Amino acid sequence: MKLNRRDKLLMIGDSITDCGRLRPVGEGQPEALGNGYVALVDAMLRAARPDLQIRVVNMGISGNTVRDLKARWETDVMNLSPDWVSVMIGINDVWRQFDRPHIPERHVHPDEYETTLDELVRRTLPRVKGMVLLTPFYIEPNRNDPMRAMTDRYGAIVRRTAERHGTLFADTQAAFDRLLEHLYPAVLAPDRVHPNLTGHYVLARAFLEAMDFPF
């Protein structure tokens, strides 16, 4: 596994990461990590490798886009001195173009998304052991659905960024697509964005597979 003894893993993103985590820093008791994939990652690490004493920190904030991450990156990531940083961001960058088309200043288009994500990775890599970039996802099997198609475009940007910088990468959309061969989307997320516990397990597993977790 990529993580070593006493490594500090900071996980940042939007509401899917947030999941009711403690403010200002989501760390400490299990409930401080919220009720989503971050808490599942922590639980699985503690259960499988208690000897490593990994520190997991949740710094997700509901509603965030990559633009918001950039604005708080120094205080919420760099100042906390993590060893590893996990980033899953992008669904709000996509969603605001669909649910608030009349507010263009809230829209983060692909060029800004890629430039900003690239900048954050470039700034961070020299100061950490490694990073994991997770794609955004939309729990919709029809790849021609407009929001699914745009989410795939943003996911491709995450893949390119990971390849360009040599970071670890987790394709969460592909992980959900495997389930969608058998399940209706609402079984995992009524709004196709915010997953239930099964969906959060999918995310936790995708992340841990990227980290070579010993399942």
The pTM of this model reads 0.96
State the pLDDT at residue 105: 87
Strand partners, 5: none
Q: Can you give the pLDDT of all 215 residues of the chain as single tens digits?
A: 999 999 999 999 999 999 999 999 999 888 899 999 999 999 999 999 999 999 999 999 999 999 999 999 999 999 999 999 999 999 999 999 998 889 998 899 999 999 999 999 999 999 999 999 999 999 999 999 999 999 999 999 999 999 999 999 999 999 999 999 999 999 999 999 999 999 999 999 999 999 999 88
What single-letter amino acid sits at 109? H
State the pLDDT at residue 30: 80
Catalytic residue among 15, 42, 93, 171: 15
Helix (H, G, I), strand (E, B) or coil at 192: coil
Q: Sheet containing 8-13: which strands, arranged edge to edge? A: 55-58, 8-13, 84-88, 130-134, 168-170
* Alpha-carbon span 183 to 163, nearest angstrom: 31
Per-residue CA distances from 109 to 98, 115, 116, 150 (Å) = 12, 10, 11, 10
What does DSSP assign to residue 130? E
Catalytic residue among 14, 18, 93, 194: 194
Picking from 104, 188, 91, 195, the residue whose alpha carbon sits closest to that of residue 148 is 91
**pLDDT tens track for 31-61:** 899 999 999 999 999 999 999 999 999 999 9
State the pLDDT at residue 201: 98
Domains, the chain, ordered by start: 8-210 (3.40.50.1110)
State the pLDDT at residue 10: 98
Picking from 162, 161, 160, 138, the residue whose alpha carbon sits closest to that of residue 150 is 138
Q: Among this protein's residues, is 191 annotated catalytic?
A: yes
Q: Among this protein's residues, is 111 annotated catalytic?
A: no
* Alpha-carbon span 118 to 123, nearest angstrom: 9
Strand partners, 21: none
**pLDDT tens track for 167-179:** 999 999 999 999 9
The secondary structure of 37-70, three-state, reads HHHHHHHHHHHHCHHHCCEEEECCCCCCCHHHHH
Helix (H, G, I), strand (E, B) or coil at 170: strand
Token pair in block for residue 183: 């399940």
Q: Among this protein's residues, is 15 annotated catalytic?
A: yes
